[in-house]
Amino acid sequence: MRKLWVSLLVMLLALGAWAQVRTGAWVDEVVFIEEPSSPKGVDMVRTGAIDLYAYAISDPALIKTIVAELGYEISYGSYNEISFNPYGPEFVDGRLNPFAIPAIREAVNWLIDRDYIVAEFYGGVGGVARYFTITPSFPDYARLADIARALELKYAHNPEKAKAIIFAEMEKLGAELKDGKWYYKGQPVVLKFLIRPEDERKQIGDYLATLFEQLGFEVERMYKRAAEASPIWLSGDPSKGEWHVYTGGWVTTAISRDQGANFDYFYTPRGRPDALWQAYKPDPEFDAVADRLARRDFTSVEERRELFAKALELSMKDSVRVWVSNRVSYTPRAKNLKVAADLAGGVYGAWLWSRTIRFEDKVGGTVRIAQPSMLTEPWNAIAGTNWIYDMMIIRGVSDYATLPDPFTGLYYPQLVEKAEVYVLEGLPVGKTLDWVDLKFVPEIKVPADAWYDWDPVAQRFITVGEAQPAGLTARTRTVVYFPADLYERTWHDGSKFSLVDGLIGFILTFERAKPESPIYDEAAVPGFKSFRTYFKGLKIISVNPLVFEVYRDLIYLDAERIAAGAADYLMPVYAQGTAPWHALALGIQAEAAKQLVFSSAKSKKLGVDWMNYLAGPSLEILTRYLKENIETGYIPFESVLGQYMSKEEAIARYKNLLAWYEAHGHLWIGMGPLYIDLVKPVEKVVVLKRYEAFPDPAEKWARFAEPWIAAVEVTSPAPVLKLGAPWDFLVEVTFKDQPYPVKDIDFVTYLLFDAEGNLVLSGRAEPVQDGLFVVTVPAAETKKLPVGSIRIEVAVASKLVAIPSFASATFTAIP
Amino acid sequence: MENLKRIASYFGVRSSLLLITVVVAVYLVILIANMGGHMDKIRESQIREQVGLALQSPEFQQMPEAQRRQIYEQMVEVRRREEGLDKPFFQRSLKYLVNGITLNLGRSQRITSDTGSNQVRLILVERLPHTLLLWGTAQLLLFFISVFLALYLSRHYGSALDRIVVALAPTSAPPAWFYGIILILIFSSLLGLLPYGGFVDAPPPPTMLAYALSVLKHMVLPVLSVLTGGIFVSIYNWRTFFLIYSSEDYVEMARAKGLPPRTIERRYVLRPTIPPILTSFTLMLITVWMGGIITETVFSWPGLGRLLYQAVENADTPVMVGSSVVYGYLLAMSVLFLDLAYAVFDPRVRLGAAGGRRL
């Protein structure tokens, strides 16, 4: 009897443990409200009125409050630079433009004190110094940390050097310095400085203007907001000399793992067709390097690194823009809240936020989030709202084939199981994760029966054999495998996922861009033209389990990115969210009847409402079609989609959606861990609830709730270094005071500088154990070094987070 | 009969003049909002800036340069047409004007209603109830409290309460939103008694009664900020106004005749002050239409004031015109109504033979 009780107890405990495996979201409910004021948003977090203010704050005063009193996430998505008008050296009216001379532009790097800018204008917490077009928190910087660091030291603040160069160049130009002021052809040299007053760029602009004035230039400070400044610096004719200098700013909302094309974009006329870009005249060597990096014209990582090193160096010499600072933004949250934040896009830009958000001390509960704006534009997955705050909610209720790591930008599998990526030999593609199998092949032929195009009149696919009888080749072939239980997953209205959900999206890619189609939209044409340049074919290999292959010319450095892009071809993923076929069908019908349209451009053209699946007059029209379809069993693109489902299945789907609409009052359904329970558009309230049928364990993405940014310390066992003897430096790498696993470290590099600041030696450190690396400088090297102070700088690149960590220490070398 | 003709003629001329005023005012709004057409240049540049950013994507970067440029120009052209920049500003401005004056409010350029429609009528109608509720309540309270307290103080001139109100009158120098921030700091941030802003609790209560109570709770601070910002100076103004009327010769004469104070107040003070009170009341009601741009923003109140701010920020001419033209018509109708009301309430006002007014 006793044994029976014990067995029963064990069974109950096991059952209890099983029952506690949480699936989907950690929390039960997420309530979104709107709060446009960031000081108020911060205060609301402080008083507990909300748990998260989903806005990246960069006001130094607010940041100090956040750091002192709240929890927070950091992101690095926006950055500032100084742009120069390179036309000249004389404008059409004969005025002098000193910034036509690359040496003068380059000298501005020495003229400005980036550390001062960060300390003064960002309060020491809201920014970091930036020297290059690559972002200090993105992977390329980590890969090139040693090269970048050496250049940063070369271009460190040196106003005397800047002055000497600028003065010499001005004299070469024929300018005269009289009574401390520069004159050209008898007229004072006036620099027209466009300064943006909206943010810290005002202080940066004023600071630089003052430096120019101190050098003898007369400066006309023109404070203009974005809208007023844009027609002058971007579209205005540079030869007219309406401006010389502009305080530029840029934003990135996602981590870029390949910033190689930035040189081409920011320094050459190929970057943009705008008037300013057409005035760029890069040095031929730089131009060629930038072009090769943009076209990914290299065959190995080493070759890319060499090109990059050259481009970094030459970009500093060109300096049509001088990079100044990267803004560090803080997203305030309650201290007991955990959530993934993208290093570029913050919490609102993180694809994983709904999968990671939770209270540290409990499972379940309600999270209250305020956003600066919400429900700004109509929601439809095809071409609806693109506002970052709306997209945060949309991503939270959606599910995807793959999801990007918020700290490295690398794609991980979510719905997809695995992928094989075949790439032409010699193309610079690598892989990091096991879910992708990368193979290099001499040739990739596209099968004749692969789908290549779509005929909107005959409503059928056109095969490669039909469209390109001579045959077609591609640069990549990707075979994507989904697990067998894919079709067991359900949309929020209870409908099971089907292949039709993905197939309809693939058809729409063509259909909306074809003039013969009733849902043709000229706004879809440019994107389609781009797609047409690289898409070569798609073939379904197996329906259950779903396996298909995609042939393309588009390549990325990461095979994971190639696979992620291919996987979306038959997933219901659109530009502005995900949607099932039976919801899209209503929109297709409404657009064909010219009652509602997917895109804003077509809405303006036809004078009808932009389609909204969430609220408003659109719903009346969409639900009318929904009710009709329950009677008729309408299947869009029936000649193709009808092969994969019956009318009864279609009617069952429509009934599910109607029931959903009657329960929740809107038509937005996803497959994500949360669903939209309630929308109050005028009151600006959206309530999300945990979707209990979401099958994945809640802890699946838990490790992405916190970036593993390493803490680094460099020490030497010997207090002084003896020249001619081997030196050892110990590099301690930790995270939250625990050793950083060696397997998660990409590399540790070191740079040695002499007392003059010259780089004398560099190399890699070797791992000793978790959390400990050693830099060994052999005796043969140390005997070449000078006596005096020696500074060592160490850069640690992690595989888990794109931001490299730095540390430095100074020692004394004796004979 | 002749009187009727004179009245009809007067109102005809008056209406025409008011219509011309509205037309001029609305066209000025169009010109100012578009910087006399310079806004087109700004918009075009913004379009190029935004489209140019798209060229940073790998899909475009791997394209041949000529093709990339062609697609860029095509994207710019689509956006230009979307914004109406393919037509000259003058032509568009006349269209905005005609549409506005005929109350064919049309569709917005950028902003949409909260429920996603771009029909200007829906955009305005959606926000109107919230503005009417907040500003109607606040202004009515402000008006009636001020008038009745002022009347009381004019009877108790020099009393302690009178002196306090006079002393506090300068407190109305800061605007209502300034008090709004102070009130939020005290009642929301410090004491946690009232919400920071918004229209209703989130999630909204399910029952009608609880919903109404929640809205009332959210109205407390904004209404209080309007009252705090305006009450003392308003009482002071009305009090001075009543005092002036109370010291007229005919009032002194009535007092000398020994008429009871109530009768004096009703017949000799209030009666002649009705037209200005009515004017003030009517104009106050019209201002309710515009809401309060900053106060609504401070309290995240979904009203017309915030909408107008968004429209200006986005240079959305149809919404600005829609809002202005309705305000213009309301103002014109009010002026006409007041002309009529003056004739009813003030026996001294009569229409002259030439359609003019004489006293």
Q: Identify whether B327 is part of a domain.
A: no
Helix spans in A519-580 (H):
525-534, 559-567
How far, in whole angstroms, is CA A577 from its chain's centroid?
17
Q: What proportion of chain A, given as a percentage, has pLDDT over 70?
A: 98
For residues A747-759, give the mean pLDDT: 85
Q: Cβ–Cβ of B107/A607 closer than 8 Å?
A: yes
For residues A8-27, give the mean pLDDT: 66
pLDDT tens-place string over residues A645-687: 999 999 999 999 999 999 999 999 999 999 999 999 999 999 9
**Domains of chain A from N-terminus onward:** 82-109+158-327 (3.10.105.10), 398-678 (no CATH), 711-814 (2.60.40.1220)
* Torsion sign, CA atoms A665, A667, A671, A672: negative
* CA closest to A375 among chain B residues: B114
| Ramachandran quadrant class, A669 (left: phi over 0; alpha: psi -120 to 50; beta: rest) | beta
- CATH no. for residue B146? 1.10.3720
Q: Please choose, from the candidates A800, A783, A803, the residue with its C-alpha nearest in 3D space to the C-alpha of residue A723.
A: A783
Q: Identify whether B8 is part of a domain.
A: no
B242-249 CB contacts, 8 Å cutoff, 24+ apart = B242/B150, B242/B151, B242/B154, B242/B269, B242/B273, B243/B154, B243/B157, B245/B269, B245/B272, B245/B273, B246/B154
Q: Identify whether B142 is part of a domain.
A: yes
Counting every residue written for chain A, the total comes to: 815
For residues A260-276, give the mean pLDDT: 90
Q: Measure Cα distances from B171 to A681, A686, B231 in Å.
A: 37, 39, 9
Q: Identify whether B47 is part of a domain.
A: no
Q: Identify whether B347 is part of a domain.
A: no
Residue scoring higher pLDDT (B40 or B349): B40
Task: Tell me which residues of chain B, numbers 83 to 112, contact chain A at a CB-CB cutoff of 8 Å.
Answer: 83-84, 107, 109, 112
Contacts of B112 in chain A (CB under 8 A): 376-378, 610
Q: How many CB pairs below 8 A link A and B?
A: 186
Spell out the residues 6+ positions from residue B224 whose beta carbon is closer than 8 angstroms to its own. Answer: B179, B183
Contacts of A611 in chain B (CB under 8 A): 116
Q: Identify whether B195 is part of a domain.
A: yes
User: Quick check: A515 contacting B, CB < 8 Å?
Assistant: no
Residue type, A377: E
Mutate to test the interface with B, among A230, A250, A366, A605 (most CBs of B within 10 A): A230
Q: What is the pLDDT of residue B333?
A: 85
Structure tokens at A444: 């990739």
Spell out the residues 6+ positions from residue A213 whose beta carbon is closer than 8 angstroms to its own. Answer: A219
Contacts of A271 in chain B (CB under 8 A): 55
Do strands A358-359 and A187-188 pair parallel, antiparallel, or not at all (unpaired)?
Answer: unpaired
Closest Cα of chain A to B141: distance in Å? 24
Structure tokens at A518: 């009733």
Structural domain boundaries, residue B136: 127-313
Do strands A418-424 and A436-441 pair parallel, antiparallel, or not at all (unpaired)?
Answer: parallel
Q: What is the pLDDT of residue A619?
A: 96
* CA closest to B190 among chain A residues: A47
User: Quick check: B71 contacting A, CB < 8 Å?
Assistant: yes
Q: What is the pLDDT of residue A18?
A: 45
Q: Identify whether B302 is part of a domain.
A: yes
Helix spans in B65-185 (H):
65-83, 89-101, 120-155, 160-168, 176-183
The answer, yes or no, to whether residue A8 has pLDDT greater than 60, is no
Among A384-393, A503-512, B256-265, name the one with the lowest average pLDDT.
B256-265
Nearest-angstrom CA–CA distance, A340 and A544 = 34
Q: What proportion of chain A, given as a percentage, has pLDDT over 90?
A: 73
pLDDT tens-place string over residues B102-136: 888 888 888 888 888 888 989 998 888 999 899 98
Q: Measure Cα distances from B46 to A227, A526, B53, B80 in Å.
A: 7, 18, 11, 10
* B121 three-state secondary structure: helix
Burial class (CB in 10 A: 0-12, 13-18, 19+), A435: middle
What does the angle CA B67 – CA B71 – CA B75 come to, to the nearest 5 degrees?
Answer: 170
In contact, A198 and A225? CB cutoff 8 Å: yes
Residue-wise DSSP of A645-661:
--HHHHHHHHHHHHHHH
Q: Identify whether B25 is part of a domain.
A: no
What is the pLDDT confidence band of residue B353, given thresholds at 50, 70 and 90? very low
The answer, yes or no, to whether residue A529 has pLDDT greater than 80, is yes
Q: What is the pLDDT of residue A359?
A: 96
In contact, A705 and A801? CB cutoff 8 Å: no
Q: Cβ–Cβ of A612/B116 closer than 8 Å?
A: yes
Contacts of A554 in chain B (CB under 8 A): 58-59, 62
Global pTM? 0.87
Greatest alpha-carbon span in chain A:
111
Nearest-angstrom CA–CA distance, A217 and A66 = 41
Order of strands, edge to edge, in the sheet holding A788-798?
A721-722, A805-814, A788-798, A745-753, A759-764
The answer, yes or no, to whether residue A4 has pLDDT greater than 80, is no
pLDDT tens-place string over residues A70-120: 999 999 888 999 999 999 899 999 999 999 999 999 999 999 999 999 999
Nearest-angstrom CA–CA distance, A796 and A735 = 12
In contact, B229 and B179? CB cutoff 8 Å: yes
* Torsion sign, CA atoms A249, A250, A255, A259: negative
Number of domains in chain B: 1
